[in-house]
Amino acid sequence: MDSPKSFFDGTDRRTFLAGAAAAGTVGLAGCSGILGNGEGNGNGNGDSPIGQIGSGRAGRGTPGGTPMAEMPDLEGELTLYSGRGEFLVGDLISYIEDLYDDFSLTVRYAGSTDLVNQIINEGQGTPADVFYSVNAGSLGALTDADRTQALPDEVLNMVREEFRTDEWVGTSGRARSVPYNTDAYSESDLPNDIMAYPDFEGDLGWAPSYGSCQAFVTAMRIIEGEDATRQWLEGIVESGITSYPDEFVTCQAIADGEIDAAFTNHYYIQRVLDGSPDAPIATAFTEGDAGAVFNVAGATVTDAASDATLASNFVRHLLSAEAQDYFARSTFEYPLVNEVEPIGDLPTIDELDVPDIDLTQLSDLEPTIDLMREVGIDV
């Protein structure tokens, strides 16, 4: 899960909520507000500069990539099933809808896995035209169920090959990382091998009930095998690792000096720093192992889409300069369009040493949860 509890009250005619999963009450400073050319220009093809959606970031220049003004207009009615929380992406989705006078969007928010099951159970009668997922695993699950259709090359080619298939495309990325307290350690003090952390002398933390953490352990099962993963889990438990309810709280505990290091997605460090720029927390990465997995949020067009062209053009808007810049500034994720840079003191995607695994396998969580419980972890 990546969606904290929504701060939006009620619904309107275009938005209805369906059991959005809460993952804490994280405060993303300044996520509200539509800036730039988001007031609607009728056809989306005005002469305004590239708009910024959500909060601004000091020194952030005009993003690269393709602006929405150069993309096909959106016209008609579309239903989006979003596994990404309204609190994180609601501003972006509203911005896209408001840009076009003749475009109407209905959004259903819920967990990605729940929405996959719902689309499958609804069959050809599903109202879902586009499925927007928090992770590649759910996209792969829907594709494996033969409930998606191929995206056009002009959409797929906007993203590098490892972050797409013929039927889904990544829209933003997250790297597993090792946040650490800079008052206690320097980056050179931290192991660059995730398997070495059971012997780490500092106090560790994690959020084992969190979906991203379970996907991280799943990656370890895939890469290292079940026996080595069991030994790692046993060692981590014996080290006295502290459990937290989610990864933002885990990073805040590092900044507060409760623990020295942890295992989280990279953007939680940036969210802590956004609220407290001088907090003693920084980001380290391991190399080529489960601790360095790079997963993506992404979108696909369902096989039941009433207007596949409209649906694919909406997905294309998630790869626009405005949207990619929004992901960098407001959710602190990695943009997947090369011309847009991430926020924070982070390596580029090319500089990360990412393991070569099939991201759709990370949805195979049941054996991981069983293994974690076997060694006494409360999940």
User: For 312-327, what is each residue's pLDDT tens digit?
Assistant: 999 999 999 999 999 9
| Stretch 69-79: mean pLDDT | 97
- Given a cut of 60, is residue 19 above it in pLDDT? no
pLDDT band at 15 (very low <50, low <70, confident <90, very high): very low
Which 8-state DSSP code applies to residue 278? T
- Given a cut of 90, is residue 196 above it in pLDDT? yes
User: For 258-279, what is each residue's pLDDT tens digit?
Assistant: 999 999 999 999 999 999 999 9
Question: Whose CA is closest to 78, among 313, 310, 315?
Answer: 310
- Given this model, what pLDDT does residue 276 score? 94
Residues contacting residue 67 through CB under 8 Å, at least 6 positions apart: 50, 320, 321, 322
Residue 299: Cβ-neighbour burial (10 angstroms; 0-12, 13-18, 19+): buried
- Given this model, what pLDDT does residue 363 score? 82
Share of the chain above pLDDT 70, in %: 84
- Given a cut of 80, is residue 23 above it in pLDDT? no
- Given a cut of 60, is residue 46 above it in pLDDT? no
- Given this model, what pLDDT does residue 115 score? 97
Least confident of 75-84, 220-229, 336-345: 336-345
The overall pTM is greater than 0.85? no
Q: Which domains does the chain have, with CATH numbers?
A: 15-172+296-335 (3.40.190.10), 174-293+352-374 (3.40.190.10)
Tokens (6 digits) for 265: 């997605």
- Given a cut of 80, is residue 376 above it in pLDDT? yes
303: left (phi over 0), alpha (psi -120 to 50) or beta: alpha
| Stretch 124-131: mean pLDDT | 98
Calculate the average pLDDT of the chain: 86
Higher pLDDT, residue 305 or 339: 305
Instruction: Report the chain's terminal Cα–Cα distance, integer Å.
Output: 14
Tokens (6 digits) for 211: 């979906």
- Given a cut of 70, is residue 32 above it in pLDDT? no
- Given this model, what pLDDT does residue 54 score? 54
| Helix, coil or strand: residue 206 | strand
The torsion angles phi and psi of 372, rounded to 5 degrees, stand at -65, -40
Please answer whether residues 79 and 108 qualify as being in contact, where contact means their C-beta atoms are separated by less than 8 angstroms: yes
- Given this model, what pLDDT does residue 59 score? 57
